[in-house]
Structure 1
Amino acid sequence: MMRRAIAELVGTALLLAVVVGSGIMGQRLAAGNVAIALLGNTIATGAGLVVLIHIFGPVSGAHFNPAVTLAFAMRGEADRRSVPVYIVAQLVGAVLGVWTAHAMFAEPMLQVSVKLRGGPAQGFSELIATFGLIGTIFGTQRSRPEFTPVAVGLYITSAYWFTASTSFANPAVTIARCLSDTFAGISPVSAPLFIIGQLAGTVAAVSFFAWLFREDVQDDQRISDHHLSQS
């Protein structure tokens, strides 16, 4: 458990260092062009996710996200005793990752974002972003588990651009980004709506994909039973 918790903490810290650090770099180099800054932020985040999941997946599953941990717990695929440990590790790691990015770019360590991201559309965007993320994980693990890291990176890369919220899809990321008044920041006032959307998207995804894949599971069982009867 200690090794898994440390893997979640360090993996989440590196993820936030990528998200916040690439946001700072993009903003500094883009000369005021927000689209270019976001593109740099997007590419770095998607690529970093692929690598981090490959590194830490064999140890902890590389959740890096309370929503993912809760989704596996709801499906009965996670030790319930590990759930609070994972979530605490993810939250601590996320904050440490933000501070790491600040240190690398000579930013003040302690900050609070003033960037408002309010309105129902933002919350709905987070619901959709999280729903798609959970679906990506469940779908690829069912059919092509070796492709999951790449699929997650690709999905987040696309969701940066097709969602109005730029796809946080992660309560730990949301909370930690409140502590960075940089390109990737979010005001603490806006965070609750994001987290509500993320949790709603998690519940919706677990329910929907359990229903969607149930028939295939039953078909597999019928095929197995048929083979047994023939033997």
Structure 2
Amino acid sequence: MADIEQDGRPALARRLAAEAVGSMLLTALVVGSGIAAVQLSPGQVGLQLVENAAATAAGLFAVILMVGPVSGAHVNPVVSLVDAAFGGLSWRDAAAYLPAQVAGCVAGAVLANLMFDRSAVSIATHHRASGAHLLAEVVATAGLILLIFALARSGRAERAPAAVGAYIGAAYWFTSSTSFANPAITLGRMFSDSFAGIAPASTPAFIAAQAVGGAVGCGLVRLFYPPTAAARAQTAQILLPPPDPAASGNGAEPRARRGAS
């Protein structure tokens, strides 16, 4: 079938569309909930952060369920690159995922601005690139990578939507940067001068810190979950059965489907 590749995955075009839409929705919910929080709770920054974090955690859970069966719901260049490094995604596909994710995140910021009757594009002025913020991004990104691939390599991939949503919601609070942990959404959030925005001058340092965090997380995954023939990360199919029946039980498919074939 034209819409299925030889390895059983959806065609690349479908996966790219899913990554773009998932990234758009994720950014729209982060930026939009930030705008709503400021409007509904003026002057109460702590409450605004509660509202923004809760909406992001719940929305991320939903986004992963929506597009996970198609593309794996990476919606994050660091996840795609680490997955390629582990062999779960080809480098060709990873290179295609990245622009889809960035375009989706920029579109999501524009969409959020428009939904709240703002200018479609407003360049953010919130400077965030202090040493503490950058350290926080390293920690947040490393933790996210470790979580995702720990689940994939230990047979618990079906828990990813709830676990990833919970982690990001918590990381809003235990990191000073509020856990961007995603280069694509960092770029997207430049285009909304709102609660969730980030000034363009802060963006390169944030992305560099996220890259370092991705490398740290990758190293921790290799340390805690060394690759074996029976336990390879295939996060690109985190909610799908593996195409190779011999790979069953490697953590790439939900337990509910393991006994169904």
TM-score by structure 1 length?
Answer: 0.92
2:87 pairs with 1:76: yes
Residue from 212, 216, 223 that aligns with 1:211: 223
2:5 pairs with 1:5: no
2:206 pairs with 1:194: yes
1:43-101 CA distance string (max 9 Å, x none): 00000111110110110000000011011011121111111210000000001000110
Residue from 119, 123, 126 that aligns with 1:115: 126
2:100 is aligned to 89
Residue from 168, 175, 200 that aligns with 1:163: 175
Deviation at 1:118, TM superposition (A): 2.2
**Is contact 2:82–2:214 with CA below 8 Å preserved after alignment?**
yes
2:255 is aligned to none
Residue from 148, 153, 165 that aligns with 1:137: 148
Structure 1 pair 142–181 and aligned structure 2 pair: CA distance change class (3 A):
same
2:190 pairs with 1:147: no
1:138-160 CA distance string (max 9 Å, x none): 11122211101110000000000
Percent of pairs with identical residues: 44
1:17 is aligned to 28
Letter paired with 1:61: G
Give the match's secondary structure for 2:91.
Answer: coil
TM-score by structure 2 length?
Answer: 0.82
2:106 pairs with 1:106: no
Give the match's secondary structure for 1:110.
Answer: coil
Runs of 5+ unmatched residues, structure 1: 221-231
Letter paired with 1:53: I
Deviation at 1:110, TM superposition (A): 1.6
Deviation at 1:211, TM superposition (A): 1.8
Residue from 63, 80, 92 that aligns with 1:52: 63
Deviation at 1:188, TM superposition (A): 0.6
Deviation at 1:218, TM superposition (A): 8.7
1:228 is aligned to none
Letter paired with 2:86: R
d(CA) in 2 for partners of 1:80, 1:119: 33
Deviation at 1:35, TM superposition (A): 0.6
Moved over 3 A (4+): 216-220
Runs of 5+ unmatched residues, structure 2: 1-11, 232-261
d(CA) in 2 for partners of 1:110, 1:57: 29
2:175 pairs with 1:179: no
d(CA) in 1 for partners of 2:81, 2:33: 28
**Is contact 2:153–2:225 with CA below 8 Å preserved after alignment?**
no
Structure 1 pair 218–197 and aligned structure 2 pair: CA distance change class (3 A):
same
Give the match's secondary structure for 1:146.
Answer: helix
Letter paired with 2:174: F
Give the match's secondary structure for 2:191.
Answer: coil
Letter paired with 2:132: A
